[in-house]
Structure 1
Amino acid sequence: MAYFSKHYHDPGTEPGTLVAKSETREPPSFHLIDYTEDHLEEVRLVNAADCRDYVIRETRTWIQVNGQVDPETLRNLGELFDLHDLALEDVLNTGQRPKLELYDDRLFLIAAMPFYSGEDLEIVQISLFIGKNYLLCLCPLDEDPFEPVRQRMRLPNNRRFLSRDIDYLLYALLDLVIDSGFPVLEQFGYQLEDLETDLLEHPSQRTLAQIHGLKRELLVLRRVLWPQRELLTSLMRAEDPLIHANTQVYFRDCHDHSVQIIELLESFREMTTSMLDIYLSSISQRTNETMRVLTIIATVFIPLTFVVGVYGMNFENPVSPWAMPELRWYFGYPMVWGIMIAITTGLIWFFKRRGWL
């Protein structure tokens, strides 16, 4: 995952400019649900203009746009829903900080949804526009992550959902976005368990690289999820006609989940820091063990080298009283070996007695 993933315009660009940063692979898909307490209509649309007939009704409408949105489609949505240019710019330039902004009689929210794509951590920006009777949700993923919410709406006699205003639908989408952090943190937990085992049994450079990678991902995740808690706090306390008092209770539940995720995230960050300290201590301990063994070996061979060096001088003179008489002894060679074996045995016994072996 990249440290910096925000798309931005060139410095000096006029505010509200909509410029695509890359070629759009496929046109976005439009999935619309128009509902009342007694009726639910679900259709697939081709473009933004097809939403017009549903928006003017006295019903509640959820327009889900999936895929990379090109500037032209975004402009059409902006004209249809009278959206602010700065908000549209934030939709196009993904990687924004989660936030809540008020524009006249509508709200604009940006949320961050983490998930694992294979073995890589991804964080996708979810942009939501809320009006009196509509909710426009833009997600850059080709696959719709909000299908579970749609399945709840399809349930027969689901008056609890369909009878509520559009702010309850906003809660349902945000609840899914927030709760998507729990599977991600569960995956982090499994990785930490495996790293802890490797750390205690056979730490290596690969273990160190994994710890640093995990710590980096947790840091990036914290950077995007921390302001999301502030977003939910704002919704809980919002004094806006679009957010009703009976729905703020549900936003409070989302806020609780967000706090739990942040607390787990902070715990995992502390664990990675502790694991890094354990790795350094373990490597230091292994180095000390190696140095101790080498020191003992060197200590054993120092007196042996001295003995061999002395008798390797070969000063043999039968006349001189200072000559080495051992060189002419019949058992001189076995005697030197016996001395060296005795020295080695004595040193090993001494080291074991002191607890150094």
Structure 2
Amino acid sequence: MEAADLPRSPRRPGPGTIGVPGRRLASKVGLAPGTAVFIGERKRQSIRIDLLEFDAAVVHEAHDVSVDDCAVHRGTATVSWIQVNGIHDIALIEALASRFGLHPMTIEDIVNTSQRPKCEELPDYCFVALKMLAYSRASRSVGAEHVSLILGPNYVISFLEDEGDVFDSVRLRIRKGLGRVRSMGADYLAFCLMDAVVDHYFLAVEQIGDEIELFDERILMGPRPGDIQEIHHYKSDLIKLRKAVWPLRDVVAAISKSESSLLRPDIIIFWRDLYDHTIQVIDMVETSRDVLASLHDTYLSGLSNRMNEVMKVLTIISTIFIPLTFIVGVYGMNFKHMPELEWQPGYFVVWVVMVAIAIGLFAYFRRRHWI
């Protein structure tokens, strides 16, 4: 599965008020804190829960499991990764949350797809909200998906808006026993999931940066009427990336300095490395924003230079024809006594004079490098 084009299920409106496409935050006005209201667009017909349980020796994987099946794995000695694909079914989310003792405020943040990246430490678990981003070359736009992670003593629950994700590399390492993920705990699994999300930030920023560089080279060759819309399109993509990465920097920094018993000191170095990666992504985004800002100036300068060239050509043509128009105007006057009118070679002499003036002016402009 390509990270740039995550699979998406058909989008259908759901019954009632839950799952109405594009539901806004205004629907939460007046409700008590901790009231779970799905904010976003329903992307699946039904929620599917997948389970991946492992330790250093064995791996057990199951799909489309029930809430009760998930609750059984809360107290096992192995590490359990529960992934919930779809967050529009409030009743199911609340049922799963009750099995794992999640706070109502946590449930509210899980189903709110507009929630900014954040980290909260509670006595029994840690909650992390972040954005999963992918750049689609086909639509030339950044797709954002809300992701929530619950880190418990021996489990990780990931909540996604839809089935597509960027965690295939993590699953592959678990299934084949690659790396250290099978021998580490749930906190390292949570790190791996967040690291996979940040790695795809790099991919999205690099793809946008490559397109901006090509766009820069084309603008230097000559601006086009639709270029200003293209610049604003890239600007909106970079703003989306910036809104996702900047808060995540603070989230990872808080985790790397946390003293929670759920985060072992021996993997703090991994969280610090992830913090460095978020800083690198921010630097790349800011660099692309600077390039894009200069592109806007380059576009306006190109238009100005193009207009100046047109005006220069028109001015030169006008300057050449001004003396010719003067001559024609003088001899176009209807005076009866004009000696030149009776002169037999006068017509040809006037032509010679006008041609000589035009050639002389043209040669002068060429010598001054004006044309």
What is the CA–CA distance in structure 2 between the aligned matches of 1:92 and 1:67, rounded to whole Å?
9
Which range moves more in the overlay, 111-120 or 254-263?
111-120
- 2:28 alignment counterpart: 10
What is the CA–CA distance in structure 2 between the aligned matches of 1:290 and 1:164, rounded to whole Å?
69
DSSP-derived class of the 1:205 partner: coil
Residue identity matched to 1:133: N
Q: Where does structure 1 lack aligned partners over 5 or more consecutive residues?
A: 317-322
What is the CA–CA distance in structure 1 between the aligned matches of 2:323 and 2:180, rounded to whole Å?
90
What is the CA–CA distance in structure 2 between the aligned matches of 1:6 and 1:113, rounded to whole Å?
20
TM-score by length of 2: 0.89
Residue identity matched to 1:104: P
What is the CA–CA distance in structure 2 between the aligned matches of 1:335 and 1:237, rounded to whole Å?
94
What are the residue-to-residue correspondences of 1:133-172 with 2, within 5 Å?
Answer: 133-156=154-177, 158=178, 160-172=180-192
DSSP-derived class of the 1:45 partner: coil
- 1:350 alignment counterpart: 364
DSSP-derived class of the 1:180 partner: helix
Deviations 1:98-132, CA, capped at 9 Å, x for gaps: 11101222100011111024432111111001111
Residue identity matched to 1:92: V
Determine if contact 2:49/2:63 at 8 Å carries over to the other structure.
yes
- 2:121 alignment counterpart: 102
- Determine which structure has more spread, i.e. the larger CA radius of gyration: 1
- 2:196 alignment counterpart: 176
Q: Is 1:337 equivalent to 2:351 in the alignment?
A: yes
Aligned residues: 347
TM-score by length of 1: 0.92
Determine if contact 1:36/1:59 at 8 Å carries over to the other structure.
yes
Deviations 1:59-107, CA, capped at 9 Å, x for gaps: 2211011134410111111111000111111111112111110122210
- 2:71 alignment counterpart: 52
- 2:5 alignment counterpart: none
Determine if contact 1:8/1:93 at 8 Å carries over to the other structure.
no
Cα 1:277–1:84, aligned 2, differ >3 Å: closer, same or farther?
A: same
- 2:151 alignment counterpart: 130
What is the percentage of aligned positions where both structures have the same residue?
38
What is the CA–CA distance in structure 2 between the aligned matches of 1:8 and 1:226, rounded to whole Å?
25
Q: Is 1:76 equivalent to 2:92 in the alignment?
A: no
Cα 1:24–1:16, aligned 2, differ >3 Å: closer, same or farther?
A: farther
- 1:289 alignment counterpart: 309
Pick one of 273, 279, 287 that aligns with 1:259.
279
What is the CA–CA distance in structure 1 between the aligned matches of 2:23 and 2:268, rounded to whole Å?
32
Which range moves more in the overlay, 5-14 or 215-224?
5-14
- 2:12 alignment counterpart: none
- 2:219 alignment counterpart: 199
- 1:222 alignment counterpart: 242
DSSP-derived class of the 1:330 partner: coil
- 1:114 alignment counterpart: 133
Cα 1:168–1:80, aligned 2, differ >3 Å: closer, same or farther?
A: same
- 2:9 alignment counterpart: none
